[in-house]
Amino acid sequence: MKKLIKGLHHVTSMAADAKENNQFFTSILGLRRVKKTVNFDAPDVYHLYYGDEVGTPGSVMTYFPFGKMPKGKRGVGEVGVTEFAVPKGALGFWRERLASNGVTGLSGSSFLGEDRLEFDGPDGDSFALVEADPEGRAAWTGNGVGNAEGILGFHGARFRLRDADATGELLTFMGYERDEKDGNVTRYRIQDGNAARTIDLEAIPVGNQATQGAGSVHHIAFAVEDRAAQLEVRKALVDTGYQVTPVIDRDYFWAIYFRTPGGVLFEVATNEPGFDRDEDTAHLGEALMLPERYQPYRDQIERNLAVIG
């Protein structure tokens, strides 16, 4: 399994208001909404996907806006910070832009030689912009965000855990290599994958347990090229003792899920078939797309969903 995981595929979180969530990620962060669909297990709830032009694996932030759900409580056993990559020299632009839009929690710092700007999402989500080399990636531009500043995709994520060692062993098994350490944070890095390649594990032995709600990461997904690679990963995990779901068709990728020793829900998702399987690239994210089993109920589903544009 050493060469099968290619870095991050997507990160899925929860929100309290679909319209506010859509406005934040498209109008403020300048990402493209690449898919407007529903939670396949709860079709009265949107599933919104934001990313680059085509929703390249490693660029896509997704949300379940459950509607007035209470905010989650930060703690251990969760993805604590979701990190986006921006071009070098862009943080000044972002500090000014985020502040002018009333974004809270702005805090600049450096970690392992990388300049970063942390900030809060509308539900208290924890994010960071990290200056990085583009590595061939291009930002979606518009809404006042240009190529010199735009979000390139993910940089990585930081987990907050009571026991970071057990999750570190899992990441190593998945093909990550232990990298540098600074204080209580250890970096793991995948080689020969996409540019969303880092996972940082922050050890907080006496921290309070996180509780999920709006602003919490529901799961974090790792990329594999295709279904054959996914089945190899699944077999390796099951043989090691993990309880892994069967393969589930999510229309735009196939997915398997399992719970990690630290409590974080992992997904392994395929890079195929992609978000253009049912929409032309020029019009991604415009219409409400439904899986086949929900098509007979389209009118009812659309009546129950808020208008977000």
Q: Residue 32: what pLDDT? A: 98
Predicted confidence at residue 309, as pLDDT, reads: 81
pTM given for the model: 0.97
Give the separation between CA 68 and CA 242, rounded to whole angstroms. 34
Q: How is the chain split among helix, strand and coil, in percent rounded to 5?
A: 20, 40, 40
Which residue numbers in the chain have pLDDT < 50? none
pLDDT on residue 2: 74
pLDDT at 201: 98
What is the structure's pLDDT at 68? 87
Q: Which residues contact 108 (CB under 8 A, 6 or more apart)?
A: 91, 95, 115, 116, 117, 118
Report which residue type is found at 224.
Answer: V
Compute the distance between CA of residue 86 and CA of residue 134 in angstroms, rounded to an integer. 8
- DSSP β-bridge partners for residue 124: none
Q: What is the pLDDT of residues 90-126, one digit of tens each?
A: 999 999 999 999 999 999 999 999 999 999 999 999 9
